[in-house]
Structure 1
């Protein structure tokens, strides 16, 4: 097994960090790794905000579902789907008037563009995760940055056609500390050959057998099994509703309307 594969297979989400700052050399390497990530059409439709300010980290730890460990990370990286720069490039080079001369209209980015920009941002983020891990720097993905659209827009000074897709916490491992790896579903339920495989009830019950062991009879939802508990914890949760609201606001902005 080579070093890269070993790094990937041992990596888990780190939520406890050594107090020392991430060195400039290590952070520079991590960010260079982000920028070498694959990108649709070589457009690099993403941006990364490096957050070290204690006050901003504190605010993000609260706005991202009240997770105190976020503010203890030496560095936060916010990954943005970003077409603002490309649209400024179009504007400064008279693209709108050019399209009008052709008898066509100039339109804003579409939902499909948001999906592609999201792919760019997430691929860059995963490059960061692996590069950081190889340097002894742990990380944790924070999807809650997609929530509170208006608040994060103001806090991070985000213009039109820019949306926060994910955030990473970064910090060195505490001495002698390692992350216990969580179980994954068996490969047969995730990796398919040639086409999608739809599962029977028997298959699904086998797939979720270990998850069902997590069920606690006495629970706040009065659920009868883990599926019912999980649905209420995730799908019907307040954070899920807020994330849905915020994503819809982003989609309203990235709607391909005539400009």
Structure 2
């Protein structure tokens, strides 16, 4: 197995960091990895905001479900789905542009997340751990104000990076599904309740009597939550703002 594949297989989220800064040269390598990511039509429909202001970092940590390890991370990046630069360029060349739709937003989100993952892979190759912060898509109005975001630049991802502390290195990587459970040929298969249950039991190494408590725990932690309601509210505000053309 080559080193790249091994690092992809072994990579896990890092939430505890050494008090060691990331060198400027390492940052440049991480940023350049993002620039080299695949992009729809080579339009680079994303931008990256580095959060270096400790006060701003603290505010984002609170907005992102109050996670203190964000403040401790040596490098914090917010990835924006960004059509703003194209909107400005079209206008400066007197080209009609009445605004962008939901399809444009989805395309920009894809560009953004591909670039973000490139930074994860690059960082890992440098011995730098990372963790996605999904909560950045909550509280859109506050995030927009903090980062001075224009209409066509929306937060799609946030990542924190740093050299892993011993506790992070010692943490076991959570189990993944097998290929047979996740990769299909030509169409999405119809699967019975039993097949779905067996799929999760295999991944989590559960006995049948343990599955019910596992499912209830995930439902309570990930579905029946205030943060999920806020996430969906915030995303709807983003979509409405992006799609409204009366202010273009």
Q: 1:246 is matched with which residue?
A: 234
Q: 1:102 is matched with which residue?
A: none
Q: Output the CA distance in 2 between the equivalents of 1:249 and 1:60.
A: 19
Deviation per CA, 1:11-62: give whole Å up to 9, x if none: 1000011101100000000000011000001100100011122111111111
Q: 1:181 is matched with which residue?
A: 173
Deviation per CA, 1:45-91: give whole Å up to 9, x if none: 10001112211111111110011111100110100001111101111
For the 8 Å contact 1:111–1:256, the answer to whether it is kept is no
Q: 1:57 is matched with which residue?
A: 57
Instruction: Sort the Cα spacing of 1:168 and 1:143 in 2 relative to 1 into closer, same or farther, 3 A.
Output: same
For the 8 Å contact 2:16–2:167, the answer to whether it is kept is no
Q: 2:91 is matched with which residue?
A: 91
Q: 1:229 is matched with which residue?
A: 217
Q: Output the CA distance in 2 between the equivalents of 1:213 and 1:54.
A: 43
Runs of 4 or more consecutive aligned structure 1 residues displaced over 6 Å after TM superposition:
none
TM-score, with normalisation over the residues of structure 1? 0.88
Deviation per CA, 1:125-147: give whole Å up to 9, x if none: 00000000000000000010000
Q: Output the CA distance in 1 between the equivalents of 2:61 and 2:6.
A: 31
Q: Are positions 1:112 and 2:103 aligned together? A: yes
Name the one with the larger helix percent. Answer: 2
In the TM superposition, residue 107 of structure 1 has moved relative to its aligned partner by: 2.2
Q: 1:151 is matched with which residue?
A: 142
Q: Are positions 1:29 and 2:20 aligned together? A: no
Q: Output the CA distance in 1 between the equivalents of 2:34 and 2:120.
A: 9
Question: What CA RMSD, in Å, does the superposition of the two structures yield over aligned residues?
Answer: 2.2
TM-score, with normalisation over the residues of structure 2? 0.92
In the TM superposition, residue 214 of structure 1 has moved relative to its aligned partner by: 10
For the 8 Å contact 1:212–1:226, the answer to whether it is kept is no
Instruction: Sort the Cα spacing of 1:169 and 1:202 in 2 relative to 1 into closer, same or farther, 3 A.
Output: same
Q: Output the CA distance in 1 between the equivalents of 2:107 and 2:180.
A: 28
Larger Rg: 1
Q: 2:2 is matched with which residue?
A: 2
5 Å-filtered alignment, 1:164-175, equals 164-174=155-165
Give the secondary-structure state (helix, strand or coil) at the position aligned to 2:240.
helix
Gaps of 5+ in 2: none
Q: 2:18 is matched with which residue?
A: 18
